[in-house]
Each structure stands twice: as structure tokens, then as C-alpha cells.
Amino acid sequence: MVAMLAHRGPDGHGFYRDSRAGLAHARLSLIDLAGGFQPIHNHDRSLWLTFNGEIFNYKELRAELAALGHRFYTQGDGEVIVHAFERYGANAWRMLNGQFAFALWDTRARCLWLVRDRMGVLPLHYSVAGNHLVFASEAKAIFAGGRVRRDLDPRGIAEAFTLWSTIAPRTAFRDVRSVRPATALCIDGNLRLTEQRYWEPDPHAAGRETTEQAAEQLHEHLLRSVRLRLRADVPVGSYVSGGLDSSVLSAYAKNEVGPSLETFGIRFADPRYDETAEQRQVAGHLGTRHHEILCDGAAIRGAMADVVWHCEAPLLRTSPIPMFLLSKLVRDNGTKTVLSGEGADELFAGYTIFKEDQIRRFIGRQPDSAVRPALLSRIHHYVGDARARATPFWRDFFRRNVDDPAHPFHSHLIRWQNNAWTLRLLAPEVQQAADLAATMERLESNLPAGWQNWDSLLRAQLTEIHGFMSSYLLASQGDRVAMAHGVEVRYPFLDPDVIDFAMTLPRRHKLLGSRDKIVLRRLAARLLPPAMAGRKKKPFRAPIAPVLFGTEARGVFDHILAAGGDGLVDDAAVGRLITKVRLHDGRAAGEREEMGLIGVLTLRMLAQQYGPEFDARAEAARRRLEQSQVHVLEDRVGEGVRAAVGVI
């Protein structure tokens, strides 16, 4: 099991086991390089921890606990978890400012805790198999234990084709579950699971009078957040996309680190996706040591299989692949951790979907208006051309469901319904497993009580956070592709204080007409030149159909696309669509068709990798692990049957 997670922790590993539980750890050493090896224990060795991620406020917690008499044997952040639990019990989880997934084994209470951070930055999976509970950061490690079947879940596949990802606790695999964000599971000696939600956002507006006052408070929160996330015994770099969010964070980091700050950006060979000029402008203004990687069609095709393996899900976009290549650049540069601006668009209303929801509610008050739908062309200026955005089809698309503004998912429903077109490429039994109503019900169960009565913008933001950011953006475009190269991404905008601040901001400080991120832009004006502070949002995308199904890709994926009879795909429907797309060199495909084709391609890759190829992959990983050092080995096995086993 630990061999399958060596990419997440290439700096060594450790083991603990007794007659009831077995813990393992794959280490990425960022803090206390010489002594922070895991699993970690408390003073009397009654608590054992295997932990992935960072507790950014560990120094403050350590000082508090030491003053209360706790004795520490490491200088790392993980040890504060066992001592905080020893002192405060399950109340300790809400004291942790960090991004984490951990298993804590209480030998006295015979209780195993599986705990995940507030936003779900770090993954954590589990499965009940007979008289065992098996857990791991990634599903591949669970499967390597040999107790859990590797079957794909038709419901999970259908959900991914509709929402781009599955919603916790569902995964793409039938017998594997995901711990929900901001949740702690307690598993007792009889494998009974108790779920505890330890944090929820509080939307009560603080009534800040001016944007300038709000910007000053955001400055204080972000400065502290960046300083905490620069804590490491190795250099911390920063991603630079050319956009507002990463530019603001890089400016803060540069002020703290100085001219040695390393920044990293992606160049695209296709100019429609490229922001090289903007990235270089930011890096030049800040004076960082900037590094770039070029992403072209060959690079996307070459990395796709590896990305699917690490993401453990079908993909409806190629965007994770450039991030996979970027994290490799980071690691090749000798850097292990970087800052990222993810979370700002969700918290400060930067996405067009928030403006779109606002306009659609405006249209709903006069559904027959020919003028009001034209407002949508202004916010979707990057979609198609002006003629396409003036057609009746365009207007009718956005008029759907405008007569039901009270629907809790009004902001996202038409997107999900549109994405569901891709289901027609799947086998009938997979299509039949699709249940958007059940998915929305499960998504709603992850949201705070009474959220349906909140302001419509806040409802849209929460939907985006739980239905897209946590489940897809922080996973497939974040942790999975970064940790594939042993790189940790840190998100200052997802600091608990920043989140709480953003949740209490009045609407006027986030979105006013077509003006977005109002308070963040006011803050950016202090740090950056006007052109950077006022830069419009450009969605991060990568080419799909031309590079995967056009002339330059002819024959590359034919063996995968032609592999019929797997019971997952409607081979005839896929064949017709591929023929149509190839007739026009991949450029005639609409957005839904592109999503459907890459979804089918990556689904078949996933089925192959976790089917007939898996045993060979596991054996190769085991051989590689033999070259890694064991730092902790605690074996207390006596009589009895192990109830829990896992690796983080």
C-alpha cells in the first residue's frame, strides 16, 4: 500500500502496527527535515498519527500545549495534532489552520479517527472490507492492499460526466468512499462509523461600511496567511498565471522572501490559451526568478495517461495536464512547495457564473426581453464569436429555468443539464445510473443547514465551492497532479480566517453589476500597477479536440478508443462523433462534444489502468519502494485481528 503512494512521499516511509490497527506513511519532508518522521506518537505512545499536509499554525499551538505541560520529541507540525487531541479531544480539529488528511489511532479508546481539512485540499479515502476498514490518501493504495475490488461505479462515472467530478463521499470506484471536507470520521472497534462535521461557514454579514475598510482587513488576513504558508525548512515558490489572484499572492510572497522568490508559469503553443506576456509582466514587475514550461499538443497527449492514473477519475477537460507538467517543472527546479491563488474566484465572486446567475435572475423578471440576454455576451466575451452570441439558441440556452429563481441550485443547474449531454456516449446501463436529483441531494447534505435561505450570491458561491472547487479544482488540477511529482501546493486564500472574512462580506464588496472581486481589486491596487490590478478574469483552459482527435493526433489513441466491449461506452455513438470531429481536424466540436470525447478517452484509460494493468503497476511500485529508507518501524502485533489498516 505504501509503495503506491511513494510519489506523494518520496523522502522515506514508516510503519506502526498492533493487533488492531496498522498505519503507514510516505513522507514529503518540508518541516523538521531531520526528525519529523511518521507515524508520530504522544508521550506514552497511546496515540499514533499518520498525517499528510501541513498545520500552518503549529508553532502557536505547540507553544500553547507546551505551556500546559505537553512534551514534544520532534520540531514538526504533525506532533501538535496528537497533543491537541490528547488535551482537547475532537474539539482539536477546529483549532487546526492547515490543509490536511490524517488518521489518528487511539489505542486506549480503540477508535480510529479519519480527518480531512475544511476545504478538502487533501484527499482521504476508505473502504470497509469484511472485518477490516482500509484507508489511504488515494484509492490506488487501498487496492494495493488486496482486500478491496477495483470495480468502477456506474453512478460515479455518470456523476463525473455531469459535474466533472464526483461529490463526496462518492468516488469513481464502487467500493471506495471519500471523507467529506471539514469532517472527522470515528471508527470504533466494531467498525461502526460516526461522522462529525467540525466546521461550517457563517454567512452573517459584519456590516463593513466602506470597501477601503474591507480591503484593509483583507490585507491583514492575507498577509498573515501568506506568512504562515511560507513556513518551511525548504524554499517556497509561487505559481504565476498572469491573473489577479496569483499576482497578489506573489507580491506578498516577494515582500517576505525577497529577490530569491521562484515563480512558475505555463506557456501554451496555442495563442488562444496563452498568457505568457501577462505572466512575464508580473514576474518582471516583482523581480522574481521566473521559470516557464511550454505546453503543446504533443505534451498534452504524452502526459494524459499519467494524469488519469493520478487523478483516479475520468476527466472532462485537459486542464489538469498543464498543471501536471508545471508541477514537474517545479520539482525539477528543486522546489517542493508553491503558493497558488485558487479559492479567490470562489470567495470573492470572480467567476462569470456568479454574474451569469445575477443576469439570469434579471432576465427572469422579463423573460421575453430581447435586450436583457445581450448582457450575457459581455461576460462571456471569450466564448465563440459575436454572431454565435447573438443567436436565438444562445438566448434560449440561458433562459432555461429563469422562472424558478428559488431553486437552491439555480446558478448551476443549466450547466449541469448541459453537461449531461455527454451521457449519451456511455453505455445504457451507465446512463441509467445517472441521477442528477440524487446528486443534488447529496451535494446539499454537504452544505450548512438553512443555506437555501441565504443570499443568492452566497448560495452560488457555496455551490461552486462544494460542487466544483473541492471535488475537482483542488483535486484533479491541484493536489493529484502536484503530488504526482512530490510537490505540495499551498492556498493562502483558503486560510480559515480568509474564508470566514469572505463569507461575511456584504455582496457590494464582492460583486456589483459586472464588476467582480471588488474588495480584492481594491487591495491589489496597493500592490500592483493598475493594468495588473484591473485585469479581467481569463478562465484557465487547455486545447482538447484538435490536439487529441485532430490530424496531429491521428492514430495515437485509436487503440484505446477502439477497445469496445467494456460495458462502459456506447461504441457506435462514440465512433460517429469521432468521425465527425476528425473530418474537420477536431475544430468542429462544440464544448459538449469535446467534453464527451475526452471523457470517453480518459474513462477507458482509467478502466485499463485499474483493471488489467494494475498488478504490474503495483509490483513496479513495490520494487521502487525497496530503494526508500524506513525511518519508523513500531511493531506491536500480538493476538487478535487487525480492524484498520491504511497509509497516508
pLDDT tens-place string over residues 305-364: 999 999 999 999 999 999 999 999 999 999 999 999 999 999 999 999 999 999 888 888
Q: Which residues contact 249 (CB under 8 A, 6 or more apart)?
A: 222, 226, 238, 339, 340, 341, 492, 493
- pTM of whole model > 0.85? yes
Pairing of strands 177-178, 125-129: antiparallel
Length of the chain: 648
What type of residue is 575? G
Confidence of residue 394 (pLDDT cuts 50, 70, 90): low
- Residue 183 bridge partners (DSSP): 197
* pLDDT value of residue 386: 58
- The widest CA-to-CA distance across the chain, in whole angstroms, is 77
Dihedral sign for Cα atoms in the order 526, 530, 531, 536: positive
Query: 606 — phi, psi (to 5°)?
Result: -60, -45
CA distance from start to end of the chain: 10
pLDDT over 90 at 65, yes or no? yes
pLDDT at 387: 62
Output the pLDDT for position 306: 98
| Res 376 pLDDT > 90 | no
In one-letter notation, the amino acid at residue 95 is: M
Provide the mean pLDDT of the chain: 92
For the residues 420-432, what does the mean pLDDT come to? Answer: 95
Residue 283: its pLDDT value, please?
Answer: 96
Output the pLDDT for position 559.
84
C-alpha torsion angle, residues 533, 228, 52, 109 (rounded to 10):
-130
* Sole residue written with cell 448582457: 375
Q: Which residue has the higher pLDDT, 168 or 36?
A: 168
Edge-to-edge strand list for the sheet holding 644-647: 177-178, 125-129, 132-136, 644-647, 21-26, 13-17, 630-635
What is the grid cell recorded at 384?
Answer: 465563440
297's CB contacts (< 8 A; 6+ apart) are 269, 543, 546, 547, 550, 552, 553
Q: 217: which 3 cell numbers?
A: 482587513
Radius of gyration in angstroms for the set of CA atoms belonging to the chain, rounded to a whole number: 24
